[in-house]
Structure 1
Amino acid sequence: MTDMDSQPLSRTLAIDIGDAFVGLAMTDRLGVTIEPLFTLRRTRLKDDVKNIARLVRKHEITEIVAGLPLNMDGTEGKRALVSREFAEAVAQATGIAVVCFDERLTTREAHERLNQAGYGTQNRKEVLDQVAAVVLLESYLAEKAYRAARETPPVV
């Protein structure tokens, strides 16, 4: 058995919460690659959360991160409160704690990536939220790896 065989397989889901859409992205089972899933068109909170819970079960998600839209000065405004409420509803429906993670500038980064890829304006909003979820998940995993590296004692 290799080290890879003994590592638990898990997936992390990223949720980019907007007023009209929720962008979703997830890692592979090793937590190495990230793929956009789809964009959920918002209806009612109860239905949105039910759809996400179904997705969590289907893909055996073990960790969830939700975008937290902070103001540029780092404070929380009305949008952050809405996102926290959505994240809490997802946590209750799935039984998995949802980490709220700073999503400032993820939409700008998503626009830049779509521009670089030559993606046009038709249906851009739906794809944009998926790409923003990918950016959110990349940032979250990078921060998590950085913290883990800082907490690991050096090998002597």
Structure 2
Amino acid sequence: MQKRIIGDSRPNKASSMTEPLNLEALADVEVSSEAKEHTIEAALLPGFSGGWRAGMPGPQVIRLLFKQAQPVQSIQLDFLESAIARTQEYVLRISADNGQPFREIVRQQWHFNPQGCTAESEQHVLDLPAVSIIELHITPDISNSSAFASLETMRVF
């Protein structure tokens, strides 16, 4: 008798990638707001800790603008929330032609609960030959417009 485990049998291309893209050299970043103590660099660049936090409540946008289109094989997103229960939604969009048009990669909701689930980590395998813009839209709480968005890390491979 042969045995197989049912599941995704595709190889994970991102796991073979050892180094993320050097966003500091390859891209500019636009962000809708940021707290002075938790700037966007803390989420995008290695060597920082504490992640990014919005400077005002409500939906936020983080946009990476590549100086030249880059091949993108995966995007890693890590979110932490240990203080309040909330349902966050994020939308990840890309453009190969400087924003004309954008293509939605994923739209996902996650429920954070301080007594249980305080972290979300997602790796989106894409294998795109040329990306000029990556946009991350974060709605920190779909039922409370006074919640603050945060992002622990974002890595592009």
Higher relative contact order (CA 8 A, sep 6+): 2
As a proportion of its length, which structure holds more helix?
A: 1
Per the TM superposition, whether the score is higher than 0.5 is: no
TM-score for the superposition, normalised by structure 2: 0.28
Structure with the higher fraction of residues in strand conformation: 2
Q: TM-score, normalised by structure 1?
A: 0.28
